[in-house]
Each structure stands twice: as structure tokens, then as C-alpha cells.
Structure 1
Amino acid sequence: MPPKPKDNIKKPTQIATRPIISDSSLLRIPENAIEGYQQRILTDIDWTLLEKAFRHHKLNCERVEISQVSLKEALKKKVESSILRGFLDESSTLTLQDQWELFLPITLWEIEKFANSEGMICFQNNNSITNDLVKLIRKAVKLNDREILRKELKAVDMLRINEAEITKLDCSLRDYKNLVTLTLCLNYLKDIDATVIPEGVRILELQANRISSVELFAKDLPTNLLYLGLSRNFISNDVESLASLPQSLTVLDLSDNDIYNLNSTLDVLVELSNLTSLLLAGNPCSVCAGYARATLTRLPRLKCLDNREVLSIDRVPELLEPHPDDLRSAYFYFTVIRIMSVPQPPKPEKGATTTFHVELELPLLDSNRRNFLMYHTNESLIQMMPPPEDDIWHIPSSMTTSKIVNPVRDDETSIHESDIYHHLTVKNSRQICNYTTFESNKIQWNKVMNFQEPTVKIFCPDLVALRDTFRTVVTIKLVYTVTSTAKQGKTEKKSVHSMKMPNEQIAVLATVKCSLSNPDWSQISQHFHWDDTLGTEEAIHWGEGDLTAVQYSQAPVKTPKGKPQADAGSSRQSPPDNLTCHFAFGIETLRL
């Protein structure tokens, strides 16, 4: 008889285990936490240069007393600081022709030849009121009429008044009847009177102001407005009023605000029927695991999300709603892609081992640091235990001075010519650190060293802390460790009071700083390259390139005949001669 066919038994589907968000130490706030802990958590954070600038502006916006400055006053001040000043000055003894032939060329020449980068930026800002000021001046000079220049200035189609401390709009704006683009960035605008904005305006830029809600001015905006820029404002929970924005709107920039709830935001944005481009990057909601999937599913008309074109392959074929927890959390990860061409270490003493590892600090994602700062005000994060009372504690001379000798090989001479391994320090076992140093696995030396992937993985239910982490500079250290086993005598083994001698010596071989940026939903991670020929600790952001695609082989790479030698973009190449590090940062998202 033929064997009886086996019944196909379906294996039960494994349900992914999810951490309980409410139990996370990154969210828990004890009742007895000392007031001001939020500010302490943000102290001593190494922000990126761009973030420092915006935080400085934000502090100015949060001042209790801000001097009232109207748009008319700010524009007048801008004009007086620009090259227009002499041409509009009725009391000037110089004619328009003199100004054109003498004053203007000298001013432009001095800026070009002698201004530093800061002076150049200030000059450009003061003279960016509209496009091509020189063209406006030329026409007035040709007709020898200052009034022509005033009329031409009122007839421009683009008006830009940035960094002018404007707190309110006034009716003088109505005089610019041909206005199409109005840019009022880096001011102190909060409650806007949109009725004074000319009806012909199609592009309105209000980035980096004090706006927390659009409720008071949304309905009064020009009915044919196409673009509205509200990035770097104070918009957080009050998103319902976004539904009152003009239906003509095609591009809405809400990036770098504090919008946390993605679902409620998308519920409102679906009401904007012509919206084809949306920017939400830099908000806490944009770093949740289900951000891209939920946004592209709920807003099927989007052609561009966070300045990235939405392709057909980016859309989920079926309506797969993310799990609710995927809109409230994500995993942060750090990966050491590879480290190459570390100088070969000398041979250790008998009984000692040598290893390499990578370590870094992520203060905003560090629950130990957070919990300590909840209950301490001015104390240092580093504390020292008192020294032992007896005299048994001592550091042997073999641990304080390096006695490492170079290896002797039959087939090669020592390639180690650096003294980086001769500056070892003993780890202080009395030091208590109230923060976490995240470390990779420890490995032996190799020409190309690969570490466990991901090197660090952290569950993040605090989306604000996760968002802010990508606004910081992360310092990574490559550490060399010599571990020795201290032998004890017979009497020491029997002694209860004998102390364990320190048995680790370390040397930091490289310190690398990576300036992170907002995660890109269309890319898995952001990659960084550093090598010791750069002459700086700053790593290079690899742009849209993928460093994992480059393969290195210690065997000689043969170049096929007729083809050029391997370049940086080839898939397989020999390791570089100098110390090189490749790192990656990202968040684990639901793939589309």
C-alpha cells in the first residue's frame, strides 16, 4: 500500500512581541521628581550647528517682553541697511548717477574683497528684499527719478523681510498689489492679521516665527494660496484648525514643529483636497515606525513627502493600517558598518588579551541618565567611590606602565610604527557613571573589522527624545583594550579583605563626531565616513550613498583587462591604507 499522505499542519502564526509603551522608563515621570528635570535633561547636549541657531531664536521667541515691530517699520529699517538707501535719500548731495557710478561699485567691491563670511551673510540678508535690486535701481537712474524707484519697489512680485523682529502685519502691505511671494521668516509673528495680505499672493513663507495655531488667520488667507511654509514654529497639539486653510493649497510645510499625534494630523489634512506635497519631517510624529506607511495610505494624492517624490513602489498595494503602537514608538539603531586599517597592535604580555570595540553616548535616549536627573539638581553625572581604608589597594607597576612588546613574525617585519598603543590608561574602578556608555561587541584585530549589527538598538516610545537625538552630534570612540589577569598569592586567596586589582587598560584610538539630521523615510539609514587623513574629528555625511554596498577584500583585487581600476563606487576593492570608519544611524520603520 502506498504510504498514507501526511496531513498538512499549518504552523501557528507567530505574533510579534511588542514592548509595553506605558512601562518604558523613557516616559515614566515619578511623582517625587524634582522640578526642572526637563531642562536638566537637555543640558550639556551637543546640538548640531543648525539646531543651536534655531534654539537661540526659539529662546528669543519665548521672552515675556518682545518689542512690537510692524512690517512697515521693519521694511524701512531693511531699506536703510541696503544699497537702496542712498538712492532713496532725498537729502543726499549726490545725484542718482553719482550713486550709481561711485557709491554702488565701491560698496560691492568692499564686500567682495574684505567682508568675512558673517559680513557677507548680513549683506545678502539686507539686500534680499526682492529679486535683483540692481535692476530696480538701474531704471530709476536711467530716468533720474527717485520716485520711480519707490513705485517700482511697491510693484515687485516678491517681498522678503527676514530676521527683522516683526511682530505684526499692517495695512501698508496692501500697497504691494502685484505681490505673488511673501517671505517673513525668522521673525516674531504670532497672531497674524491675514486680511492685509494681498489677494494675489500664492506663496507665503512664515518659517521660524511664534505661531502655535493657524486658527485666527487660516480663513482670511488668500483664496488662491498654493504654498504655505510653517516650519520651525510652535505648532503641537492644535492641528484641527489646519482644516480651515484654503482648499487651493498644494504644498504645506509643517516640518520641525512639535506635532506628536500622527493620526489626528492626518485626519485633518485629508480635508485639503488639492494637497500634493507635505513636509512633516522633524516633528516627533515623523520618527514613529509607521510614519511613511500611514501618511501615504491616508493621503493617496500626495506626490511628494518631505521633499521626496512618492513613487508607485512606495505605496502599499493593500490598505494595511499600521499597529497603533507603530505610530507611538520606533527602534533607534546604530551600526558599525566596518573599521579598516587600524594599525596592528603589538603582541601583549603572556596571559593578556587585546580587543577593539566602539562606544558612544546617546544622552536623550539614556534612561539611566534620565532617571538620575529626575532626582538630582546640580550633582555631576560622574561620582567617585571613597578609596579603601586599608593599604592593600594598589596598582602594580605592570598596570601603570605599558610593557607590551612588538610581535615577531617570520614572514614580515612589524608594520606598527605608531605609538598610539603606548598611551594606555587604567580604568578607574572607583568611578561611578550615572549614564550609559553604549558599547559594541569586542573583537580581535583584523585589517577589516566587522561588528555585530545593529551595534546598538534602543526601543523609543518617547518620540520627542528620538526626534531630538537626530538634531545632535554623536561622538563615537574606537577603543583598544588590554585585559590582564592579576595573579594572587596563596595568602591573598584566603584573605576576605583582598581587593581585586584593576585588570583593564584602554586607549582611545579615534574620536569621530557625526552630525545627524532628520531621518529620511525613503532611506533606511544615514551613513557616515571618517578617515584619519581628514584632519578633523568631523565625519562626512555620505548623502544618499550606501556604504554597505561597497565590499572590501583583503585578497588582491584583480582588475579585468580593458576596465579602469577600482574606484570608490565599485562593489569590491582593497582596504585603504589609512584608518577608516564607516557608521550608520537610523530608525526601524515599517517598510513600504
Structure 2
Amino acid sequence: MPPKVKEAVPKKPPPPVIRPPISESSLVHVPDDAVEGYQERLEKGIEWTLIEKAAKHHNELSSRPGIRTRTFAVALQNKINQSILSGFLNQESDITLEQQWELLPITLWDNEKFANEEAKICFENRNNITNDLIKLIKKAVKSGDSEVLKRELKLISILRVNDAQMTEIDESLLEYKNVVSLSLCGNFLSNLNGQLIPTGVKTLELQFNRMSNLEAFVEYLPTELLYLGLARNLLTNEFIEPLARLPYQITVLDLSDNDIYHLVPLLNTLAMLPNLQALLLVGNPCAVCHGYARTTLMRLPLLKWLDSRQIMATDRSEEPFEPHPDDLRAAFFTFTVFRIMSAPQPPKPEKGAVTTFHVELELPLLDATRRKFLLFRNHESLVEMLPPPEDGDWDDVKMPSAILNSKIVLDPEQSSHESDIYKNLTTKNSREILHYTIFETNKVQWNKVINFQEPAVKIFCPDLTALRDTFRTVITLRLIYSVTVTGKQGKPDKKSSHSMKPSSEHRVTLATIKCALRQPDWSQPSQHFHWDDSLGTNDAIHWGDGDLSVLQYSQAPVKVTKGKQDTDVGPSSRQLPPDNLTCHFGFGIETLRA
């Protein structure tokens, strides 16, 4: 009797995705009647990361009016004059090459042993024109002729003229015929003539410049070019079409941290590059949309690396996939509180009062109401007060007796130091609108290990530029303890038919934490941060690629399996919570997975 063949069980259709409606008038669109200078007001008070501050500073320098023209030849000479080469190439110096050579170790020693980190970075930047500068100098010293050093510089294969305020390249660059790797990062370049780049260049780095229109630039690039770096320029969807005409051999393309908003037109352009294996798009608005990674991997099947992450077989979907249009123009920002541990136990509340803990999150760039407010209104502050209540006896700034009563009972196990912070309660003014920027988690009761729902905050973001910029900021978190007293029905009086004591909330901030965010990684659900009060700072520690969510804590003694030592206990095993206040957070965006 033949064996029975199992019938294929039909797969259950995936549950429908709930997508909030997206207005056809994009939030990125700026109407004609917008208030002048609204963009500066929008970013006022935003704390940017150190990298973003540096980028904004460079952008201000390069866009200021009246910048003087500085060619490649002038920029390179200035770099040489600031480097250790200057003494060996100075024809007017009375010091011989041998004497300069004897002084060189002192210069290197002073920089290595006595310079601070900032000075060391500056020294390295001034002397990174090429590799093995000491070797070139030594060869000239042996010959006793500085002309040898000049000739050797023209034969180098690696040339860097970075941070030199260069505005254009000239024909002097063609004198470096052996250059294979050319770096012109951190300059003011906006239009480049590809004919002035040595034909043997295979690596061309132009990060942190002013490149926008690539039409003329791509026509005469070296045919053997393998790597092109255009990160932190001014590229938008308007001028991406020339990318399809990059050299046939191009293998690595870095477009990160530009302003490319629409993903599909870009991918259609990049699909014309037959040898493209590595692509960097992180830091563009299109790279934070819901369907970014899955759509990119589908449209570019030969890609092996995306945003410095190797693409695994599990990252690609075997089934045909067509993204929903909304998945390419919106995303969800998620904030997760993995746990808060060892918060001081609060005093026992008076009858009728409820004590809770929650986390406040400031995200000014993600609030559409605030953006519209600043777009059209010429108001100095976003803090507004509602009209005063009709009931003049309602004074909501007074604490109820339940809070000021000196008979508050403390847990006898808590020290007086731990409980002192709870004596600093202030009244929350429920009639005040604070910046439209505060997002709150759910409120939970005290525990040695406090857990919140996941995600604690989830925000729909149809403005991809605002979402991208949020990951360039330093987010402020506050751990709040609050006491809520519910309103009670009082006895009627002569003036009114009834009397009501209003509900009131009183709170204290247990911790204020700063998290310097990084651009999201499509292969990681979120970026994790650790903070505890023993660090002595408000700055949280970025946890790298580590996963804080797998850690488990228990108030019971940790049991070690027989035959295993304490050091054999894995990271996911339960452990006792720390004695000091500790917080674990995560930030990310929801992405479509394969």
C-alpha cells in the first residue's frame, strides 16, 4: 500500500499592515507663505551629536559668501608648508637637510608624548599627504638634495589633500601620474572636471564637499575607477541620473549622509552599474523608510555589502516582493525601555494617592504639530498657557496635604539618603503645553527591576528627513516618579451646587540621561544604551552591537549549574540586579524583514 502523501497546508496570509494615512502634501514641502527663517527656529535648541556639529560647521564655512578661489596647487602647497616636509623643502633655510633630519625625532617625540588628543589629530591631519613620509625624507637626506624629495613626491601612489579649503582642481594634479588613491575630503569642491584627475586613479574620495550636480563630473572619470566616495555632499534626487554613467568598473559607491529622499528612482539608476558590489546609503532620508533594506536587496541582486554590512543569504527573500508605496515614504520610530533597576523605593503614599514611574522622551524633530507651528507662526516660545479657570478657588500650583504632610511613612528598609530625592516633588501644571515635543511611556509601579511594555513609545513618521535628522541628535530621557491624587467629590456650598477637588500630579526627576544616537543599521532592530549613576555623567554608553534585551535579572540568588563555574554563566543567564540605579534603553526603526 503506497504511503499517504501529506497534503500541503496552505500558508496563512500575513495579517494586514495597519498604515496611518499619509497626506499627499509631503511634510518636506515648504509652502510659499512659510515664515522666513522657520528652519533655523525649527532647529533651535536641538542638541546635535559631535559628528553632526562638525558637519554643520564645515557646511557654514563652505557656504559663506565671498569665499576666495583656492586651486589644488595652492591647497597642496599650504599642506606641505604645515607638514614636516616644509623644513626639508625650504630653499631659503640655513639649516642643512642633515640638521633637519636630526631635529625630526624631537618633533615626533614631542607630539607622541606631550600633545593632547586634539593636537595629535591635527598633527596627523597635517602630515597625511601620503604614506611613508619619513621614508621619502630619508631618501632625500641621504642624497643631500631637496630636489630628490620634490621628484619623489611626484611619484607617490597615494595622495591626500584634505581639509585645505580647496575650491577647484587644476592641471597641476595631472603631474601626479602614479596616483592610484586620491583623497580630497573636507574641501569646498562643488564642480569637478573629470579630465583633470589622473587616469590611473582607482580610489577617489570626495567626502565632505559641496558636490550636487554630477552631470559634467562623471563624463571623464578614470575608466579604471573602482571606489567613489561622495558622502556628506549635497546630492538629492534631482541630480542622481548621472550616477548611471559612472565608469563600468565601479565596485564601491559611498552616497551616505546626503539628502536623497526617494529610494526607487535611485535604485533604478544604480541598477545600471553592472559591477556594483558595495553601496552605502545610510544617513539619507531614503535609508530610514520602512522598506529600505528589503527593497534595496531586491532591486540590486548582485550587491554583497550594504551600509558596511555583509549581505547574508537570510537577508534576501526568495519570494517575489513588491513594496507598498507607503513603506517607501514612512517609518515607525521605536523607543524601548528594556529595564530600569534599583530605583530607590519610594515612600508609601497616603490613601487615595497612586505612585508610578515612567520615562519622558524629548523628540522635537518628530512632532508634526511643532513643525507646523514654527512654519507659520512668528512666536518666540512654544510654551502657552490656557485661559485661567473660572473657579478662582482652584489653585493647581498648591500641593495637597497628602504630599506636604510630614507623616509620610517610609519603608524602614530604605536609607534616608535613598528617600531624600522623593521629598523634592513639584506640581505638574496640567494647563501648560510644553514644546509639543515630550513623548511619555506607560506608567508602572515600583519594583527592583521595572519593566515597560515594548515598544514603550512608537511614533509614525511620514517625514523621512526629520526621522533621519533625529538620529543625528542627542536625545534627552528623564526617569520620572509621580504621585497622582484623584479628585474627590466635596460637600456642596452656597456658591455652587457641588464642589470638586481637582486631580493633581506631583513629580520628581530621578535621572536625566543623554543618548547620542547614531544612524540606524538595517540589520539591527535597534541601538542600545546603558546608563547607571556610578558613571558620574548624564551621558549614556552606546552598547555597540551588543544586545541588552537578552540580559535577564532576578532578585533570587543566581543558581549555577553543577559542574560549571560562575564564569561559565552565559550573558542570557539570570543575574542579580545591580545595587545602583541602572537604565537600559533602545532606539530604532521598524523595517521590513526578508
TM-score of the two chains, using structure 2 as the length reference: 0.92
User: 1:85 — aligned with what?
Assistant: 86
Q: Which residue is 2:3 aligned to? A: none
Q: Output the amino acid matched with 1:398.
A: S
Task: Quote the Cα distance in structure 2 between the aligned partners of 1:121 and 1:256.
Answer: 23
Residue 27 to residue 404, structure 1, CA distance change in 2 (3 Å): farther
**Residues 59-98 of structure 1 deviation map (CA, whole Å, 9 limit, x = unaligned):** 2222232210001001101111111111111111111111
Match of 1:153 in 2: 153
* Other-structure match for 2:576: 574
- Structure 2 counterpart of 1:422: 423
CA distance in structure 2 between the partners assigned to 1:12 and 1:340 by the alignment: 40
Residue 30 to residue 9, structure 1, CA distance change in 2 (3 Å): same
CA deviation profile, 1:165-214 (whole Å, cap 9, x unmatched): 00111111111111010000010001102212111111000001000022
Paired position in structure 2 for 1:319 = 320
Matching of residues 223-372 of structure 1 within 5 Å: 223-237=223-237, 238-372=239-373
Looking at structure 2, the residues matched to 579 and 138 of structure 1 have their Cα atoms a distance apart, in angstroms, of 58
Identity in percent: 60
Q: Is the 8 A contact 1:427 1:502 kept in 2?
A: no
- Residues 107, 388 of structure 1: CA spacing in aligned structure 2 closer, same or farther, 3 A cutoff? same
Matches of 2:434 and 2:111 in 1, distance apart?
51
- Indicate how the Cα distance of structure 1 residues 568 and 363 shifts in structure 2: closer, same or farther if over 3 A, else same: farther
- Pair 1:432–1:402, CA change in 2 (3 A): farther
Provide the rounded CA distance (Å) in 1 between the counterparts of 2:507 and 2:52. 34
Which residue type is aligned with residue 353 of structure 1?
A: V
Equivalent position SS for 1:38: helix
1:586 Cα deviation (Å)? 0.8
Pairing partner for 1:405 from 386, 404, 408? 408
* Paired letter, 1:81: Q
Give the secondary-structure state (helix, strand or coil) at the position aligned to 1:359: strand
Match of 1:5 in 2: none
CA deviation map 1:410-431 (0-9, x unaligned): xxx3356321111111112443
Q: Which residue of 2 aligns with 1:181?
A: 181
Give the 3 Å change call, closer, same or farther, for CA 12–87 of structure 1 in structure 2.
closer
**Aligned residue in 2 for 1:534:** 535
Instruction: Give yes or no for the alignment of 1:588 onto 2:590.
Output: yes
Q: Distance in 1 between matches of 2:231 and 2:405?
A: 55
**What corresponds to 1:441 in structure 2?**
442
Kindly indicate whether the alpha-carbon contact (under 8 Å) linking 1:70 and 1:170 is maintained by their aligned counterparts in 2: yes
Matches of 1:402 and 1:368, distance apart in 2: 40
Counterpart of 1:194 in structure 2 is 194
Residue 64 of structure 1 corresponds to which residue in structure 2?
Answer: 65
Corresponding letter in the other structure for 2:73 = K
Task: Give, in whole Å, the separation in 2 of the partners of 1:463 and 1:496.
Answer: 53
Pick closer, same or farther for the CA change 1:10–1:163 going to 2, 3 Å.
closer
Could you tell me which runs of 5 or more consecutive residues in structure 2 were left unpaired when the two chains were aligned: 1-8
Q: 1:94 maps to which residue?
A: 95
Deviation at 1:31, TM superposition (A): 6.8
Q: Distance in 2 between matches of 1:389 and 1:457?
A: 37
Letter in 1 for 2:581: L
Cα offset, 1:486, TM superposition: 5.6
1:527 and 1:545 in contact (8 A); partners too: yes
Query: What is the rounded CA distance, in whole Å, between the counterparts of 1:408 and 1:267 in structure 2?
Result: 65
User: Which residue identity does 1:573 align to in structure 2?
Assistant: Q
State the one-letter code of the partner of 2:406. Answer: K
The separation in 2 between residues aligned to 1:575 and 1:373, in whole angstroms, is: 45
CA distance in 2 between counterparts of 1:111 and 1:484 reads 63
What's the secondary structure of 2:472's corresponding residue? coil
Superposition pairs of residues 5-24 of structure 1, within 5 angstroms:
15-22=16-23
CA contact (8 A) 1:344 1:415 kept: no
- Can you give the 5+ residue segments of structure 1 that lack an aligned partner in the other structure? 1-7
Select between 384-393 and 223-232 the one with higher mean Cα deviation. Answer: 384-393
- Could you report, residue by residue, the CA deviation over 1:204-241 in whole angstroms, capped at 9, with x for unpaired residues? 00001000022111021110000000000000021100
Aligned equivalents of 2:158 and 2:407: distance in 1? 70
For 1:271-296, what per-residue CA distance to the aligned partner results, in whole angstroms no more than 9, with x for missing partners? 11011000011101111111111111
2:264, 2:12 → 1: CA distance?
A: 34
Instruction: Find the aligned partners of 1:182 and 1:223 in 2 and give their Cα distance.
Output: 15
Partners of 1:24 and 1:221 lie apart in 2 by 39
Residue identity matched to 2:231: S
In structure 1, what is the Cα distance between the partners aligned to 2:23 and 2:224? 45
**Which one-letter code corresponds to 2:587 in the other structure?**
F
SS across alignment from 1:417: helix
What is the CA distance between 1:26 and its match in structure 2?
4.6
Partners of 2:136 and 2:149 within 8 A in 1: yes
Deviations 1:45-65 (A, max 9, x none): 111111111011112222232
What do the CA deviations read for 1:325-350 (whole angstroms, capped 9, x no partner)?
Answer: 11111111111111111111111122
The 1-side partners of 2:59 and 2:13 are apart by 53
Counterpart residue identity of residue 513, structure 2: V
- Displacement of 1:563: 2.1
Change (3 A) 1:436 1:403: farther
Q: Is the CA contact (8 Å cut-off) linking 1:40 and 1:373 kept in structure 2?
A: yes
Contact 2:488–2:502, Cα closer than 8 Å, also in 1: no
Name the counterpart of 1:458.
459
Residue 523 of structure 1, CA deviation: 0.8
Kept in 2, the 8 Å contact 1:26–1:460? The answer is no
Q: Deviations over 1:254-307 (max 9, x none)?
A: 000001111111111111101100001110111111111111111111110100
1:129/1:496 CA distance change after superposition, 3 Å:
farther
TM-score (norm 1): 0.93
Structure 2 partner of 1:211:
211
* Aligned-partner Cα distance in 2 for 1:25–1:433: 26
1:445–1:416 Cα change, 3 Å: farther
Alpha carbons 1:239, 1:265 under 8 Å: kept: yes
User: Equivalent residue of 1:121, what SS?
Assistant: helix
Instruction: Give the match for residue 381 of structure 1.
Output: 382
Name the amino acid aligned to 2:186: L
**Alpha-carbon shift at residue 569 of structure 1 (Å):** 2.3
Q: CA deviation at 1:547?
A: 1.1
Question: 1:490: Cα distance to partner?
Answer: 1.7
Distance 1:29 1:164, change over 3 A: closer
Q: Is the 8 A contact 1:27 1:461 kept in 2?
A: no
Question: Aligned equivalents of 1:62 and 1:531: distance in 2?
Answer: 42
Find the aligned partners of 1:316 and 1:202 in 2 and give their Cα distance: 33
Provide the residue aligned with 1:109 in structure 2: 109
Indicate the SS of the match to 2:566. coil
CA contact (8 A) 1:333 1:588 kept: yes
Instruction: Report if aligned partners of 1:346, 1:416 keep a CA contact under 8 Å in 2.
Output: no
| C-alpha deviation, 1:404, in angstroms | 6.1
Q: Tell me the alpha carbon deviations over residues 459-509 of structure 1, each in whole angstroms, 9 at most, x when there is no partner.
A: 111111111111111111000001124656424596379675562110000
Per-residue Cα deviation, 1:326-384 (whole angstroms, up to 9, x for no partner): 11111111111111111111111222221101111111111221222123224211123
Q: Which residue of 1 aligns with 2:4?
A: none
Bigger drift between 216-225 and 53-62 goes to 53-62
Q: How many residues matched?
A: 581
Counterpart amino acid of 2:174?
R
> Aligned equivalents of 1:25 and 1:280: distance in 2?
22
Please, what is the CA RMSD of the aligned residues? 2.4
